[in-house]
Amino acid sequence: MNRVLGSTAVQRVQSALDKVGVKTEIRILTDSARSATEAATALGVEVGQIASSIVFKLPNDNPLLVITSGRHRVDTELVAKTLDVEKLYRADAEFVREWSGFAIGGVSPLGWLQPTTIIIDEALNDHEVIWAAAGHPHAVFQTTFDQLIRITSARPINVGD
């Protein structure tokens, strides 16, 4: 557990949380939280309370971070239309790590190495408490919809159903 908390990526998330004045504890899970279902099970919460960080590649080769409710699949056509871009492209693990500094399964919505465009699923607002990855597949932090918007500058939109 100390190895997880001491990892560079988790420390970067903690620093980012501190920098924006968020007082929350990064929680280390015994089981992996690589998927929203795994995270919800480990935390004993509804899957919709999990803020999954999904990275896409925009047509200009920049990343798009979609913070989506664990109960949703991202409708890439809907999101592309909303953002007025032709298409969203799949981002491979190397692209995700290059931009975010995180491995897939532990991508945090903040603490990225390079700035990115961020949107957030309006469905997350259905929950008082939501949980997001904290830089490692076993690390999460508790937050709220409004707080996540404030600390990431994410634009709320409908991302699918």
The predicted-structure confidence for 74-96, as pLDDT tens digits, reads as follows 999 999 999 999 999 999 999 99
pLDDT of residue 31: 76
pLDDT of residue 1: 52
Distance of CA 60 to the CA centre of its chain: 21
CATH of domain 2-157: 3.90.960.10
Q: How many CA atoms lie within 13 A of 119 on its CB side?
A: 23
pLDDT of residue 161: 72
User: 103 near 91, Cβ under 8 Å?
Assistant: no
pLDDT of residue 149: 97
Q: What angle is formed at CA 135 by the lines to CA 108 and CA 29, rounded to 5 degrees?
A: 110
Task: Point out the residues of the chain with pLDDT beneath 70.
Answer: 1-2
pLDDT of residue 93: 95
pLDDT of residue 160: 85
